[in-house]
Every structure is written in C-alpha cells, then in structure tokens.
Structure 1
Amino acid sequence: MSGPVTTYRAGMAAGAGAVLLTVLVTGCGTGDGDSKAGRSAAAGTAVRPAATGCPSGASRPLPGDFPPSLPVPGKATVTSVEHRTGRRLIVTTVVHQGFRSVLSFLQRELPKAHYTLKDGEVEQDDAESDFTSSTVEGRWALRTMPDCPGTVSLTYLTAPRH
C-alpha cells in the first residue's frame, strides 16, 4: 500500500506499541466534555451496543478540547470520551463505513488538514499511525468490528504539542 502510512508486519516493537495503544485506549472510565457547535449530536445520550454488537443511539458530543482541525469521518458515532493526565484526550468512535474507506479518508484528509502521519502500519483488519500538527500530537487506531459488518472502530488519542 502506498501513501503516508507504511505497511509492515508486526515485529517486537510493533507488538509492544499495539499493547501500549490498547492500554491507553481501553483505560478505565469515561468523561464528558463540552460540545462543539456543528460537530456533535444529542448531548448526554449514551451509545449502547445493540443485540448484534453494533452501537445504537445518538452520538455523544465531541468534547470542546477535541482539536477542531482534526478530520473525523462524517458517518462517525462518538461512543466514548476520556480525559487523561497531561491534557491527553481519547475519543472512540464507530464509523459506519468499511475499513478501506475509512483508512483512505485518514490518509487523505489528515495531510490536507496539515497533520503529518508517521510510524504507521496497516494490516488486514487494523491500522494505526502517529500524527502531528503545529499544535497537536497524537495517534489514531482503526479496527474492524467482526460483530458489526461494514463498520469500524476509530480511536483518536490527542494531546497538545509542546
């Protein structure tokens, strides 16, 4: 695969990075933030898994400290928001589009919004990449959802750039 995300097979370092990302992303708890006009749905509505494992309900709002220039797919449903120490923010979404479509969106739209992608990998059912801009650094992780065909989980971990 060509583009800003380099394809390679997971070695020891990649495996350790995936474990670290999983620990950072899954965490224990969620927090609510202020909504941004035009970037959120009904506030305060929890998104619960449907009987099939697919999320149902309205999207949670993107928090006020989510980077306004960071592209989010239009069919994304925000399922959790977590604030961590060091002004780190974890936003987990479910995107009602296929894996390759969302991957192409991220590889195309982040650079257009002046984010540099680096240290990424793409495998059959998951992909991830670090990103930076002049004000933000972070990582996105994309995973297929076997219990919800045609849908992927997209998680953003962001922090202010020092």
Structure 2
Amino acid sequence: MRPSSSAAVLAAAVLGLAAVTGCSAASKHAEHPGPTPYAAQRATDPPAKNAAGAVPDGCPTAASLPLPEDFPANLPVPDGAVVTSVEHRTGGRLVVATVVRGGFDTTLAFLHTQLPKAGYIPEEGEVEEDDAESDFLSTTVRGRWTLRKMPGCKGGVYLTYLTAAVS
C-alpha cells in the first residue's frame, strides 16, 4: 500500500528538520549560561519536553516553555515566540524549538537584523520560498537557526535554534 501524499510530506519535513538542526563535527561545544533580555523566559534546565497544543486553526496554543539557563544570554528571540521544546544534546549542544506567529518575512527580517546587532555573524545560509536557515557565530557561541512556514497556521513559522559554546 502506498502512503498518502500528506504523510509523505510530513515525513520529509521531519527528516529535513532533523538534518538541518544537526551540528558540524568540526564545531566545538560546551554550555553557556546567562540571563536574556528577550521575550522568552528562562528557567533551570528542563528536560526535553513538548508544550505545543493545537486548535482548529492549526496554530499552537499552549503556554511557552521557559528558555533553559544555558540558552545564550544575548541571542535574539522574536517577541511572542512560543518555546515548544527544549533538547540538551551531547557535546553541550542545545536545541530550542519555537513557533512565531509574526509571519515568515517578518521573522526572517528579524533574524537578519537582530542577530548581527547582538554580535552574531551569519555564515553559509540560504532562503527559499517556505524555509530559510543560516549558521551563525559570535565570540562565545556557534549555532544555526532554521525557519519554516507552518502549513495550516496563518502567519505561523517554526523557528529553531541550535547552539553550543565556542571553546
């Protein structure tokens, strides 16, 4: 039996996100604690979990998880971002997944302007119609962000950060 096209698309999207949020073997990783001046909150390192709920419009509605203590202190997060999951990986890597309802173009413009203002230099990125990604580097953090439009959620985008301290 052949899988439905929506199931195949979903599987491809999950595999694509998993591949994008991986980290180069050449990167060095460690933890980086500190407070944040941005919209999302912090808490002590919660275990990996998922807080996203959904309503008929397809957009997440659950309360945001707090940002973990080791999320980079000055890494910009868009106002209103809902943290949907936090994952601590080996080598001090941290993956924080969010949902932003400000739209793809607005969120992309935020990343392109606010990260450099905060001292994060973009490296090897690309922008396509429904997704974008870029590596970034500061004096203390190496990372990658990915941005994907959310099907069925008007103006909703998935924004994921993968970070690790530069050692």
Do these two structures clear the TM 0.5 threshold for a shared fold by scoring above it?
A: yes
Q: 1:73: Cα distance to partner?
A: 0.2
Instruction: Assess, with a 3 A threshold, how the Cα gap between structure 1 residues 36 and 55 changes in structure 2: closer, same or farther.
Output: farther
Q: TM-score, normalised by structure 2?
A: 0.73
Picking from 47, 57, 62, the partner of 2:52 is 47
SS at match of 1:91: strand
What's 1:101 paired with? 106
In the TM superposition, 1:126-141 aligns within 5 A as: 126-141=131-146
What's 1:21 paired with? 20
Instruction: Assess, with a 3 A threshold, how the Cα gap between structure 1 residues 98 and 114 changes in structure 2: closer, same or farther.
Output: same
CA contact (8 A) 2:142 2:163 kept: yes
Q: 1:105: Cα distance to partner?
A: 0.4
Deviations 1:8-36 (A, max 9, x none): xxxxxxxxx976215x39xxxxxxxx995
Picking from 138, 152, 164, the partner of 1:159 is 164
- Cα distance in structure 1, aligned partners of 2:34 and 2:119: 23
Alignment length (residue pairs): 137
What's 1:66 paired with? 71
SS at match of 2:114: helix
**What are structure 1's unaligned runs of at least 5 residues?**
1-16, 26-33
**What are structure 2's unaligned runs of at least 5 residues?**
1-15, 24-32
CA contact (8 A) 2:76 2:114 kept: yes
Give the percent of matched residue pairs that are identical in Structure 1 and Structure 2.
Answer: 55
C-alpha RMSD of matched pairs (Å): 2.8
The answer to whether residue 149 in structure 2 is matched with residue 144 in structure 1 is: yes
Runs of 4+ in 1 over 2 A off after TM superposition: 17-20, 34-39, 41-47, 49-53
CA contact (8 A) 2:130 2:148 kept: yes
Instruction: Assess, with a 3 A threshold, how the Cα gap between structure 1 residues 102 and 37 changes in structure 2: closer, same or farther.
Output: closer
